[in-house]
């Protein structure tokens, strides 16, 4: 009788995890992926005051907050509180760096710990889920951008490099490999991406993307400049130069449809459809890892800028759909 009760408890726990993941996951995994992820989650019930991890620790997992509240503390930044539905610690795992912040339980919590390496193994087996997750993570980056008008922090994500000598294949590969999005991807994968795209040579003032466009593409500036304008509230304006991907880590989100993308003088742009990157990623999971790293680096930098900037507030609660750090 006791054994049967234990089996029922295990089954109930498994079902609760699957329901939780379906309700709270940033990207909706297919049923089989949901089942596998639910199996690797570990329950924890830390009390108020417990330290989940400290700045400088090596990251091995990320944490879903099922209930309670966790406060993240950085250096010279506002503290940020995370409640139910939040995912914390994933940026450190994606970037592959020691913990940048300390996480302390501010209200008794129920936490689901997800081993990062095991999650990646599952992610690799479900390309459609992977593509969806990348777009949603990128949308989270764009959410931070639009919270910081008028530049969205894009002017502080890096500086433009030297223009490409030409627009031939080798130059495309070199320029792609220098970006955050593809710098840890394999040469073969980047070469395939370079081969599948095209070079645009617009005249100064030409619209590369019109507001409302249905094109879902990535744009890398090879030479010249590209200016973006979001003409709806909140208004955002930024300029990108050689070696920069237009909109940075938000490039996979589809958000460019809300911008006018305008060419500067003597500009050349490498453009590729998102579905082509998805196709390459199916065979080269290192592209997925590299893109996750690049988006996470941009999001982390933007969140730090926001936390240190004018008008920042302590314990600001991000919405669950975008609360990952």
What pLDDT, on a 0 to 100 scale, did the predictor assign at position 35?
A: 86
Q: How far apart are CA 245 and CA 264, in angstroms?
A: 15
Q: What is the mean pLDDT of residues 166-187?
A: 96
Domains of the chain, CATH where assigned: 2-125 (2.60.120.10), 138-308 (2.60.120.10)
What pLDDT sits at residue 165? 93
Going by pLDDT thresholds of 50, 70 and 90, the confidence category of residue 319 is: very low
Q: What is the share, in percent, of the chain residues with pLDDT greater than 70?
A: 87
Q: Which residues of 5-43 are buried (b: 16+ CB within 10 A; e: fewer)?
A: eeeeeeeeeeeebbebbeebbbbebeeebbebbbebbee
Average pLDDT estimate for 192-215: 95
Half-sphere exposure of 312 (CA within 13 A, CB side): 17
pLDDT band at 158 (very low <50, low <70, confident <90, very high): confident
What pLDDT was estimated at residue 225? 98
Q: What is the pTM of this model?
A: 0.85
Q: Which two tokens stand for residue 49?
A: 């005051």
1: pLDDT confidence band, cut at 50, 70 and 90? very low
Residue 3 has pLDDT above 70, yes or no: no
Residue 173 has pLDDT above 70, yes or no: yes
Evaluate if residue 9 carries a pLDDT over 70: no
What digits encode the pLDDT tens for the residues 41-94? 999 999 999 999 999 999 999 998 989 999 999 887 778 899 988 889 999 999
For the cut 80, the answer to whether the pLDDT of residue 302 exceeds it is: yes
């Amino acid at each position: 009788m006791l054994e049967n009760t234990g089996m029922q408890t295990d089954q109930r726990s498994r079902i609760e995890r699957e329901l939780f993941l379906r309700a709270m996951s940033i990207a909706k995994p297919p049923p089989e992926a949901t089942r596998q992820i639910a199996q690797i989650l570990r329950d924890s019930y830390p009390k108020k005051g417990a330290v989940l991890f400290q700045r400088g620790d090596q990251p091995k997992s990320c944490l879903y907050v099922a209930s309670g509240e966790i406060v993240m503390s950085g250096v010279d930044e506002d503290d940020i509180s995370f409640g139910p539905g939040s995912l914390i610690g994933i940026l450190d795992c994606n970037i592959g760096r020691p913990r940048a912040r300390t996480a302390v339980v501010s209200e008794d919590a129920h936490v689901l710990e997800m081993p990062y390496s095991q999650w990646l193994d599952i992610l690799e087996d479900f390309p459609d889920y992977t593509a969806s997750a990348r777009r949603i993570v990128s949308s989270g980056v764009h959410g931070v951008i639009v919270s910081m008008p008028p530049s969205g922090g894009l002017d502080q994500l890096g500086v433009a490099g030297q223009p490409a000598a030409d627009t031939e294949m080798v130059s495309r590969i070199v320029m792609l490999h220098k970006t955050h999005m593809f710098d840890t991807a394999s040469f073969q994968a980047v070469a395939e991406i370079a081969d599948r795209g095209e070079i645009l040579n617009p005249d100064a003032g030409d619209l590369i993307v019109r507001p409302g466009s249905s094109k879902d593409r990535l744009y890398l500036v090879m030479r010249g400049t590209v200016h973006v304008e979001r003409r709806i509230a909140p208004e955002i304006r930024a300029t990108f130069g050689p070696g920069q991907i237009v909109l940075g880590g938000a490039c996979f989100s589809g958000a460019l449809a809300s911008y006018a993308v305008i060419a500067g003088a003597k500009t050349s742009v490498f453009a590729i459809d998102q579905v082509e990157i998805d196709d390459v990623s199916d065979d080269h999971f290192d592209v997925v890892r590299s893109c996750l790293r690049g988006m996470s680096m941009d999001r982390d930098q933007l969140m730090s800028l926001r936390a240190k900037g004018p008008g920042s507030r302590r314990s600001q609660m991000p919405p669950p759909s975008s609360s990952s750090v």
